[in-house]
Amino acid sequence: MIFRIVARSFKVPKYGMLVLLLAAFLCSCVQEYEYSFFQSKKVDRSYQTKNVIIVVVDGLRFTEGWSDSIHQFMPLMGNNLLKEGVVNTRFYNMGDTYTSAGHSSITTGIYQTINNAGGELPANPSFFQYWNQVYSNNQQKSWIIASKDKLAVLADCSNPYWQGKFTPSVNTGIDGLGLGSGYREDSLTLKITFKILEQHHPNMVLINFRDPDYSAHSGIWSSYLAGIKKTDEYIYRLWKFLQSDSTYKNTTTLFVTSDHGRHLDTVSDGFVGHGDGCDGCRHLGFFASGPDFKNGAKVNLHREQIDVPVTVAELMGFDLPNTKGNVMTELFGRR
């Protein structure tokens, strides 16, 4: 009798331990599945592109960009670069139309409502992290360079299997100090970009110019237009550098787009603001040039920000998991 009582007293902890072991096993299986779901893999592709640079012109409304047939506010791109690549006149941000959300859509391929002050990491890994994971890259091989300090958050994500891993190098804000340092002049961002390209020759770069968004928020129309023209000049200077540098010439694909547009003139405060779903905020300019793309072409096919990182992955030989974006096949023409 005593033996039965003692035996029974050990049954609970015995089965309790089995339950705990089973739970731990199932948890590890779930974690392994989730981690593998978010992992990328190398894909063998035979493109000439070896480097990708994305320029984000902050807050340029389509009506002042590629919609203008005489390109009065961006004459260098309109008259000199158009013949070197492809323009898509139906390119959109279908997520939240403000800076942090627009940029994270471009880097992750997923629309997310995210804190616009830089206080929240994207929920999902960026194409930088996937590329670095697949190819075991040195951190100096990929960079985020931004006039707006808050965009330092693009380098990482809050996904527990990825946070702090495979991140690119970062230089954002004043003196490159990141969040809290404040916005720096775009002229300095261009200067720093040239220095990083010359010194490290990274293969993967995202560049943010704060204008014309910064000037538009002043409410002065002429300042907004001046911001567009200045950014047009910076992009053209960058393109010329890429054509003259032995590492980047004939091996680099350049994307130029925006994170968001601006209100239509009949909506809210017009060009001064942004952030809703009006066509002015959603409709963006898009230009792409590279050794695998068509020259002097215009397309009119609905595409979105989340298609950019998928196309980058296609060019650079890796998969981008967990996205609804698509490869922009209409850009391709030279193989």
pLDDT in tens, 88-116: 999 999 999 999 999 999 999 999 999 99
List, for residues 29-53, the tens digit of each pLDDT value: 444 444 454 688 888 888 999 999 9
The span from the CA of 64 to the CA of 6, in Å, is: 84
The span from the CA of 241 to the CA of 81, in Å, is: 13
Q: Which 8-state DSSP code applies to residue 81? A: I
Size (the chain), residues:
335
Burial degree of 193 (CB within 10 A; 0-12, 13-18, 19+): buried
The single residue listed with the structure tokens 């990274």 is 202
**Positive or negative CA dihedral for 284, 288, 293, 296?**
positive
List, for residues 226-284, the tens digit of each pLDDT value: 999 999 999 999 999 999 999 999 999 999 999 999 999 999 999 999 999 999 999 99
Mean pLDDT score of the chain: 91
Confidence band, pLDDT 50/70/90 cuts, at residue 204: very high
The span from the CA of 247 to the CA of 253, in Å, is: 12
Tokens of 227: 């911001």
pLDDT of residue 131: 97
The span from the CA of 108 to the CA of 325, in Å, is: 10
Range 44-331 classified under CATH 3.40.720.10: yes
Q: Cα 255 to the chain's mean position, in Å?
A: 10
The span from the CA of 122 to the CA of 107, in Å, is: 9
| CA dist 305 → 93, 100, 148, 220, 288 (Å) | 6, 13, 19, 28, 13
Domain ranges of the chain: 1-38, 44-331
**b/e sequence 237-272, b meaning 16+ C-beta within 10 Å:** ebbebbeebeebeebbbbbbbbbbbbbbeebbebbe
List, for residues 158-173, the tens digit of each pLDDT value: 999 999 999 999 999 9
State pTM to two decimals: 0.89
